[in-house]
Amino acid sequence: MALTLRQIRKNCDDARDAMARARAEHFALGAFNLDNQETLKAVIQAAVNKKAPLMVEISQGEVDALGVDNVRDMVDNYKAEYGIEVYINLDHSPSVEAAKDGIEAGFEFIHIDISQAKKDASHEEIIAGTREVVAYAKLTGALVESEPHYFGGGSNVFTEAFDYDEIKKTFSTPEGAKEFVDATGIDTYAAAIGNLHGQYPVPKKLDLELLQRIRDTISCNISLHGGSGTPGHYFVEAVKIGVSKVNINSDMRAAYRKTLEKVLADNPTEFAVVKLMDTVIDAVQLVVEEKIDMFNSAGKAKK
């Protein structure tokens, strides 16, 4: 059932309050990608168990497969059933038009990433597109997130290690962050400090000193993309510094696929696959709960 504009605006007000609480109480909302209803159920059950506020999110691939309105309805059904604090983020929306669709569907968080579809987009193009989404989001009060350049990696499990020296060339700078935030009016800045999309055979290293300098320079929220495969102690320190949102995808996908492959191999004569999914859901839920603990968000759901 479609939400009224009044309901959408109330949800967006609640989302702003959640981010303000995260800043004040030094926790981060986990933003967990969903591929299907099973992963959504895993995230919802983790939120219930941990009494944690969080986001579910979809990027363009899931938008194409599921549809923004269907995701809105599914999340609202679980939200009503369990009484949890959950929001929806449109992750790496590749165009202004796609971002507007998410706003109109009632998503509380919108990540506009012009460089996702156009890797060679100019700085001026990225700023102009982001500003347009920020202006349109005033319709509902949705929080807009962005960054000034393409964010590397991909939401997958990779077999080759990344070159840290090359990744460092794409790090955010305090001066660049302030210039971009001031030019666009975004609510959340996606910082690049060693976080990288995907899971790799080597752990990621976050430059927490750089994160502190960025935090000291800008007043808006800060997010970290590419949280998968990152040692948990970095998140513990990052939320103390003031990160309010952390994205997780590949760790969930790896748990889902590996567990599904095992249960299928263990049950070669069972063709009602739905009967085998509880084990898969449990594995993904465990990943989400472990991240919630790292983000210090357990027990932080609005009473």
The catalytic residue positions are 91
* CA 118, chain centre distance (Å): 21
Q: Enter the tokens of residue 4.
A: 């009224």
Structure-token pair, residue 235: 């998140």
As given in the structure block, the two tokens for residue 175 are: 């001066």
CA–CA gap between residue 302 and residue 21 (Å, rounded): 9
d(CA 245, CA 207): 17
Range list of β-strands (E), the chain: 29-33, 54-58, 86-93, 109-112, 143-146, 153-157, 188-191, 197-199, 221-224, 245-248
The residue type of 113 is: D
* Residues 196, 115: Cα–Cα separation, whole Å: 15
| Residue 30 structure tokens | 């986990």
DSSP three-state, residue 192: coil
